[in-house]
Amino acid sequence: MCGTEQALVIKSSKNSSVPQATDNNGSMQNHPSEAIINLDHGDPTMYESYWKKLGQKHNLTIPGFQSLSYFSNIKNLCWFLEPKLEQEIKMLHNIVGNAIIKDHHIIVGTGSSQLIMAALFALSEPLNQPNPINVVSPAPYYSSYPEMTDLLRSGLFKWGGDANTYDHKDEPYIEMVTSPNNPDGVIRKPVVITNGAKGMLVHDLVYYWPQYTAITSPADHDIMLFTVSKCTGHAGSRIGWALVRDENVAKKMVKFIEVNTIGVSKEAQLRAANILETISVSCQKIKSRDLENFFEYSHNLLVERWKKLREAIKKNELFCVAKFPLQYCNFSGDFTESYPAFAWMKCKDGVDCEKLLKEHKILSRSGRRFGSDPEYVRVSMLSRDEEIDVFLKRLPTILDCK
């Protein structure tokens, strides 16, 4: 099968074309046939088109005297969280309906990466275990989890591998529940059977937004992670937030960020607040005519890209991708498939898919990085139109020359 449990397999073919590389400004450097297309990273440049349409109407100017202090609100548990950002996070979640805000503390971080580390620290440090606690996630898991957990060789936690085969032995562990999952877009639940073990969960929900998947119900978990990067495309702002139910865990997470970076950039927070406010306004029925619903716009872009991808690989027996079932989305009020940020592509058995694509100047991320097989690769669907178009032209012409 093609990597997801809900999969209807669509096959691919033998005609590839030639993509074009882009410089930092998004313009093509070489002729399409010579260009290297980098679809390894999930750099969300797809969203540039939406924000360019708005021009300067929603720009933010920050006076030189503003934001000098370390502190944003000393009465708040997360004392470096800008009140405006807190307000806009609550507003957007209430509009989209993808998470329960009530009885949760909001903690801002430098992207979801810092919040993941803060959560692992907050959960493991109070237990005072003689050995590091295992952090697990079911394969295919997010490729950065192993590196993040083991980078500092912490005495508090370490990477424990695939949650599908993990034997907890009634010991404490932390399971990362990524839903929709990166790389395959599957909606997930915890998989480790606790049997009385001290299992702790961190729900990584950075892709639980209506452009990627149906919002079937508001998530309501102890620790939920979100990020501006995957919601709005502003990866460079490095702003994420956690919704944390337990006050002691929230305090520990804040302490980690305090020691790690002494808070989070106020300029980045204010920009993120401005962006989130624009998105919330775009979702309202009464708004200016030039402000298109952000989630509808982004969803339509991904629908079109996935449609073209399926058409491209239908012509070839070498590749396949999964097709997702229809689900009712409470946000859109309609049935929709999932259109993930990444395509989890499979080559026929025995073919190293990353190596094959690289031979055709397409950079992807091998399934090995996700605890899976080399027949799989993750391909970003969030790059600029030019890169995606050239990739889709090149893909059908690729042959297995073994």
* Whole-structure pTM value: 0.91
Q: Is residue 212 a part of any domain in this protein? A: yes
Token output for 88: 């806009």
> Is 306 found in the same domain as 260?
no
Pairing of strands 10-13, 199-204: unpaired
Where is the domain boundary, 218, 249, 282? 282
* Structural domains in the chain (count): 2
> Is 251 found in the same domain as 137?
yes
Indicate the pLDDT class of residue 164, thresholds 50, 70 and 90: very high
Q: How far is residue 282's CA from residue 287's CA, in Å, rounded to a whole number?
A: 7
Where is the domain boundary, 236, 260, 282? 282
> Is 299 found in the same domain as 245?
no
> Is 271 found in the same domain as 134?
yes
- For 183-228, what is the HEC assignment? CCCCCCCCCCCCCCCCEEEEEECCCCCCCCCCCCCCECCCEEEEEH
Question: Which pLDDT value is given to residue 196?
Answer: 60
Torsion angle of alpha carbons 141, 142, 145, 146, nearest 10°? Answer: 60
State pLDDT tens for residues 102-132: 999 999 999 999 999 999 999 999 999 999 9
Cα end-to-end distance, the chain, whole Å: 22
pLDDT at residue 96 greater than cutoff 90: yes
Question: Which pLDDT value is given to residue 16?
Answer: 34
> Is 218 found in the same domain as 103?
yes
Q: Is residue 287 a part of any domain in this protein? A: no
What SS3 state is found at 389?
Answer: helix
Q: Indicate which CATH number applies to the domain containing 320.
A: 3.90.1150.10
State pLDDT tens for residues 272-316: 999 999 999 999 988 777 899 999 999 999 999 999 999 999 988
Q: Is residue 179 a part of any domain in this protein? A: yes
Higher per-residue pLDDT: 81 or 1: 81
Q: Is residue 167 a part of any domain in this protein? A: yes
**Residue-number span of the structural domain to which 309 is assigned:** 10-52+292-397
Where is the domain boundary, 282, 302, 323? 282
| Helices 83-96 and 266-282, packing angle to 10 deg | 30
